[in-house]
Each structure stands twice: as C-alpha cells, then as structure tokens.
Amino acid sequence: MTNKILLLLIALLGLLAGVGAARFYAHRSPAIAVGGEMPNEPIIGKPRPALNLLDLRGKSHDISEWNGKVILVNFWASWCPPCVKEMPALMKLREAYQARGFEIIGVALDSKDAVSAFIDPLGIDYPILMAEQEGIALAQQYGDRLGALPYTVIVDRQGVVRHIVISELSYEKGESLIKPLL
C-alpha cells in the first residue's frame, strides 16, 4: 500500500513540476512554439550567422559555398531520437529539390567517430559538418535559445534566415517552408 501511495505522490509531483515549468517558460519565451516554427524569433529576417566547420574528411566548409541556394541548416546528434527519425525526410527533400537550388547542411553536435558510424549505414548524401561541443554556441548564434535538438534553420537565396523549426521536421512541413523560397 505504501508503495502505491509513494508512486502516486511522485507522479503528482512530476505533474506539478511540468505545469510549473510550462508556465515559467511561457512567460519567459512567448515566441517559442516547441514542435513548430518560431515566427517571432529575432534572427528571422536577418542575415545568417557565419559557419565554418570541417566535414568528416577534415575538409573545411564555409556556408558561403552555398550562396544563392535555399539552405536548410539542421543541428542534430546521433543520440537524439527525433534527429534520427527526421533524416529520411531530409534526404527525400534534398532529392526532390536539389536541382532547383536547395541544399541541406547537417551540423553534428557529436564526436567524429559517432557520426561516421551513424551516417554511413543510412547513406546520408547531404553535407555533414562536425561541430562537436562548439555546435552548442553555433546553434545559439542561429537562434537556438533552449539548446533543442533537432533544430532547423531555413535560409533563403539571399542568405536571410526565413524559418526556424525546433522539432522533428516532416517532409510535408519542410516542403511547405522551402517551396516558396525556391
């Protein structure tokens, strides 16, 4: 009997903590819509931040390589289940729209070994850049105030941030955001 009461008490405390946290963050960050686009984020409508990282082969890449393209910058990690789940949709988006000037840049917040072991079996064909621990600060420059993963930023052909999504990106949602920019 006491175990049931203890479990009930723990569940009730968890519920109260969740409600309290939701109220706290709702007052602090009204622009954040977890699970969707953040339309009032200060970076939207501004030039994309700098980005210069190494790929898995050790080659340096600057975001300016993709000037003139619609770019989807996706911050992810191999240990993040929603990040893993969205990758087939990202590959499908790239396949459908790359010929029209669309590119995906995956920014891995993970170790090189973990990323190599992870992406090879999946056949990920878009550029994967290694940010490791530096990726947290870079994601913050791109507007990720909560440190959420996956975190996606869509940049137009002029290099201006147009959309931010802080959840798993479906093919349909991605398509609806990039098609008007192509």
Q: Look up the CATH number of domain 52-181.
A: 3.40.30.10
Q: Which structure tokens are listed for 166?
A: 């802080």
Give 8-56 pLDDT, tens digit per residue: 445 444 433 443 333 433 333 333 333 444 444 689 999 999 999 999 9
Whole-number average pLDDT of the chain: 82
In whole angstroms, give the CA distance from residue 56 to residue 15: 43
Give 87-98 pLDDT, tens digit per residue: 999 999 999 999
Residue 123 confidence (pLDDT) = 80
Residue 21 confidence (pLDDT) = 38
In the chain, where the domains are located: 1-30, 52-181
Residue 67 confidence (pLDDT) = 96
CB of 72 within 8 A of CB of 63?
Answer: no
Residue 173 confidence (pLDDT) = 96
Helix (H) or strand (E) holding 129: strand 128-130
Q: Fill in the DSSP letter of residue 100.
A: G
As a whole-number percent, the residues of the chain with pLDDT over 70 amount to 77
Give 113-146 pLDDT, tens digit per residue: 889 888 877 788 899 999 987 888 899 999 998 8
